[in-house]
Amino acid sequence: SEISNRIAGASRDIPGGDTGGRSVSRVRSLGLARTAEEVAAIEVRAFPDGRRLTVGEVAEVAEAWNEDQPRVWFDGHPAVELIVKRATTADALETAQAADRFLHGFVPALPSGIVVHRYDESAELIDQRIDLLVRNGIGGLVIVLVVLFVFLNARTAIWVAAGIPAALLAAMALAWALGHAINMVILFGTILAIGLVVDDAIVVAEHAETRARRGDDPLQAAMEGARRMAGPVFSSSLTTIAAFLPLILIGGIIGQIIREIPIVVVLALLASLVECFLVLPGHLRHSLAASAAAAEGRASRFRRRFDSGFRRFREGPFRRMVARALVHRYLVVALAVGLLFVSLGIAASGRIGFTFFPSVEPNNIFANLRMVPGTTREETLERLLQIERGAHATAEAFGNSGLLHTSLVLQGIERNQALSGLQRRDDTVGAVVVQLVDSDKRNVRTEAFVQAWRDHIGPLVGTDVLTVRSATAGPPGREIDVRLSGDSLDGLKAAAGRLKVLLASYPGVSAIGDNLAYGSREMQLRVKPAGRAMGFDIARAGSQLRSALQGDTALRFARGEEEVEVRVRQKEHTGGLDTLYLFGPNGMETPLSAVVEVTEASSFDVIRRERGRREVSVTAEVDETVTTGNVVLAALERDGLAEIAEEAGLGWRFAGKAEEQEETFTDMGVGAAIGLAGMFLVLAWIFGSYSRPVAVLSVVPLGFIGVALGHYFAGFDLTVLSIIGMIGLSGIVINDSIVLIVAIADREEEGKPALQAIEDGACDRFRAVMLTTLTTISGLLPLCFETSLQAQFLIPVALTIVVGLAVASFLILFVVPAMLAVGHDLRRLTMS
């Protein structure tokens, strides 16, 4: 400590104030030692005979890198890792382009032998997914155009189709003006809105064509189509907005992810209303007039044949089926309700799994290592190299040595995929990160590689925890995260051990660990009475012992862009604590053993508290091809989690994604109640009735029949995105139901009997319902057949709408008329 104090006192730049007078100058004493030679020349003592004792005469002075810093290797070569992150408001793709421009000028100036590798680029993945969505959106739009040309005359189809990109581009422009970036979520919401936007234009155009076929002139037909359909279109748009807007109420990470979906859908609906009633009627007038003038053309012959065939089917088989449904209306309603319960039973029985937020096929895999306390740096590095060799052996086993890049990090893990709760840096921790080539360019699935890598690593001597798992997308948090809380650390550790054994018994569960790790064994000091008599206290003894073992930091200063630390310490201490001496207040040396009592004890590395109680987190990951997090959590509750906690006197709760899932569903429940209330009020206002809104809204839960069947036969789990798809489905179903009921009301106003009006109304709107169904299904059909692994998490959403709408359209055309007939029977019974 004497040498450390002399270095600190002699090596300083000290400001001396101002000289004053007419010419003011500042005075500074320059004495800061900035090199090893200057530190070695600092005087430690001066003797009466003039001799000087310098630091260099009593100590070895040398410059070296900090041995405690983390080290990184990339593909087996020493490396420096630079992580580029975008600002919160920055554009990811623009940030990547800026990095490209910098590297373009930086790399050529590097010394020979230094190579720059681009690694783990999120922007490239974002770009690929945006291209995927754009490609599927364009493909769906092309199929929608084909369907429109089949059902409508060419000129009308062109103007209906032109309104789709106009409304979607307007929605994206408005979203951008409101401060939202054009990202994957916005594009997904745009694809979701295609079916909703095209419905409005189809309903108006189809009714205008119907009026024109009945003899109205083009102007009158276009105006009547817009006027008569204004109520249904506005009401359906309002009900869809009422269904989507409550999604904004969802909090947490999921709310932040999906919040832009309702925004872009609502904006698209508003833009569609403007286009549908202010722009489309004028175009319809000209297209209907031109179609009438070209009635003898080739296109007209196709149109006549198609319309004639469609009319024969509608007035023949379809009308007979509707009539039978009305005759057997109670049976039809009972069968629909029965199918709903069967679908709910399939989902509740576990035949259809539920994954809260689906993960995309990842390219990165993380092997995180924690050695037992006391392991040396060299031993940890050797185990990491063994793990890296296992990765290359796995790639060779799959017949592709160029399958991966590896990045090895020794001492400290700062990535999100780190060991559970690990926040320390010491010689016992490290990681090997494997980046596989893009998922669409390899025939090896990530989970298969993970399992094989675990097998190739082999036994690791001295390992405390080793987890090998792939990167996860979506909301943060582990798939399995069980929190145990109590007062006894030993009880927490024992219960965590039992819980890990239970988790290991479930198939598909891996990367099991806890965040209550044992630290290095501690040497605990207590000052003896004899030591106190000599003037020692715990502070004096502890500081001298720390200086002897770790050294003192004499000073720190900046040199260029680096911070330089001058540390004074003894050469490596090879003896035990009994060989150390302490200096007393009188300057006399005293053996450590005479001053303090030393006891050895084990301790935990980090102790965490939550709500005032000590808490341990037991975490794990699941292979979604084998099981799901919800299934494992349910099994834990069934197989004794509560008993494990109760026997140790502990509390327990689920955290991680399970906690986020519970909060999301709570918010969704509140939003669903608000949305249903809003939709009912809108429908009651439009229809002037309380019974007809019930008939319309009853079709919404029946749409789950198609959703369940689609997921079951396609082999996909339900996800939170499937629920969002069901909201979009409900908007389309309500739209078709409103149009149907309005047609039935028109027939009743003509004086027809109730059952005849229902039958005629169903036949009148058969074309419009089929057209909206086919265009919506066509818009999402390319996504259903997308083979890219990056699109697999979106396919359940497309299945929800495609299969759900196909089944729901059948229900609309047959079950809604049957329910209206049942309602008529009830009214007649009440009146009698």
Q: Of 601, 626, 641, at which residue does a domain stop?
A: 601
Q: Does 93 fall in a domain?
A: no
- Which amino acid is located at 206 in the chain? E
Q: Please report the pLDDT score of residue 321 as a whole number.
A: 93
Q: Lowest-confidence range among 319-333, 394-408, 421-435, 568-582?
A: 568-582
654 and 633 Cβ atoms separated by less than 8 Å: yes
**Across residues 362-373, what is the average pLDDT?**
84
**Across residues 555-582, what is the average pLDDT?**
72
In which band, very low, low, confident or very high, does the pLDDT at 832 lie, cut at 50, 70 and 90? low
Q: Does 91 fall in a domain?
A: no
Higher pLDDT, 14 or 536: 536
- Please tell me whether residues 341 and 216 are part of one structural domain: yes
Q: Please report the pLDDT score of residue 412 as a whole number.
A: 54
- In terms of residue numbers, what domain contains 193? 124-289+315-356+661-831
Q: Lowest-confidence range among 171-175, 401-405, 560-564, 756-760?
A: 401-405
- Residues 778-819: tens digit of each pLDDT: 888 888 887 777 677 778 888 888 888 888 888 888 988 898
Average pLDDT, the chain: 80
Going by C-alpha positions, the residue among 238, 234, 230 that lies closest to residue 679 is 238
Q: Does 643 fall in a domain?
A: no
812 and 325 Cβ atoms separated by less than 8 Å: no
- Please tell me whether residues 141 and 284 are part of one structural domain: yes
Q: Please report the pLDDT score of residue 419 as a whole number.
A: 43
Ramachandran angles phi, psi of 17, nearest 5°: 90, -160
Q: How is 115-154 classified by DSSP, letter by letter?
A: -----S-HHHHHHHHHHHHHHHHHHHHHHHHHHHHHHS-H
- Residues 744-757: tens digit of each pLDDT: 888 888 888 888 99
**HSE-CB of 718 using CA atoms within 13 angstroms:** 21
Q: Please report the pLDDT score of residue 28 as a whole number.
A: 45
In which band, very low, low, confident or very high, does the pLDDT at 300 lie, cut at 50, 70 and 90? low
Structural domains counted in the chain: 4
- Residues 271-289: tens digit of each pLDDT: 988 888 888 888 888 777 7
Predicted confidence (pLDDT) at residue 179 exceeds the cutoff of 90: no
In which band, very low, low, confident or very high, does the pLDDT at 589 lie, cut at 50, 70 and 90? confident
- Please tell me whether residues 323 and 389 are part of one structural domain: no
Type and span of the H or E element at 443: none
- Residues 304-334: tens digit of each pLDDT: 787 788 889 988 999 999 999 999 999 999 9
Residue with tokens 């709570």: 666
Q: Lowest-confidence range among 26-30, 43-47, 156-160, 466-470?
A: 26-30
In which band, very low, low, confident or very high, does the pLDDT at 421 lie, cut at 50, 70 and 90? very low
Predicted confidence (pLDDT) at residue 420 exceeds the cutoff of 50: no
Angle in degrees, CA 435, 441, 446, rounded to 5 = 45
Higher pLDDT, 6 or 422: 6
- Please tell me whether residues 135 and 276 are part of one structural domain: yes
- Please tell me whether residues 328 and 188 are part of one structural domain: yes
Cα separation, 273 vs 400, in Å, equals 55
- The CATH number linked to 580 is 3.30.2090.10
The CB density around residue 375, as the number of other CB atoms within 10 Å, is 20
The CB density around residue 523, as the number of other CB atoms within 10 Å, is 13
Q: Please report the pLDDT score of residue 409 as a whole number.
A: 78
- Please tell me whether residues 319 and 367 are part of one structural domain: no
Residue percentage of the chain with pLDDT more than 90: 3
- Please tell me whether residues 467 and 438 are part of one structural domain: yes
- Please tell me whether residues 705 and 782 are part of one structural domain: yes
In which band, very low, low, confident or very high, does the pLDDT at 27 lie, cut at 50, 70 and 90? very low
- Please tell me whether residues 813 and 679 are part of one structural domain: yes
Per the rule left: phi > 0, alpha: psi between -120 and 50, beta: everything else, 477 is left
- The CATH number linked to 176 is 1.20.1640.10
- Residues 93-127: tens digit of each pLDDT: 788 888 888 888 888 888 888 888 887 777 777 77
